[in-house]
Structures are given as C-alpha cells and as structure tokens.
Amino acid sequence: MTDSDLQALAVREAIRRAQALVADYVDPDISLSEELIRERHEACEAETMEPVEST
C-alpha cells in the first residue's frame, strides 16, 4: 500500500487503528474527552468572566 492508495475499512477497524496511533502519544490514565471538556470550560470562563459549572 502506498500513500496514494485508497482503502475501505469497517468503522470499528478504523476506530481501532486510530486509537492505536493515539495510544503511542497519550498516557493511558488521561481521558482526552475530559481534557477537551475542561479546556472548553476554561475558554468559556475566560471569554465570559463567569464560572461554568462542571458536570
């Protein structure tokens, strides 16, 4: 397979491959979704200068 080839994958296989790629760079104890939510809350607070309740 080369960079210009097109390959069809099942959704589950594509997700598995993406997770395997990310796993090499992210500590398994860190939740990327929780990090994103926290960062968005911080950005919102900075923009509005009002605290945002965490869920």
Report how many helices (DSSP H) and strands (DSSP E) the chain contains, helices first: 2, 0
pTM score > 0.75 for this model? Answer: no
> Domain for residue 1, yes or no?
no
> Domain for residue 55, yes or no?
no
> Domain for residue 4, yes or no?
no
Q: What is the C-alpha to C-alpha distance for residues 45 and 51, in angstroms, rounded to an integer? A: 5
Expressed as residue numbers, the domain containing 32 is: 11-48
> Domain for residue 40, yes or no?
yes
Domain count, the chain: 1
Q: Quick: pLDDT tens for 19-41.
A: 999 998 989 898 999 999 999 99
At position 23, the amino acid (one-letter code) is A
> Domain for residue 31, yes or no?
yes
> Domain for residue 5, yes or no?
no
Q: Quick: pLDDT tens for 41-51.
A: 999 888 887 66
Q: What is the C-alpha to C-alpha distance for residues 4 and 49, in angstroms, rounded to an integer? A: 48
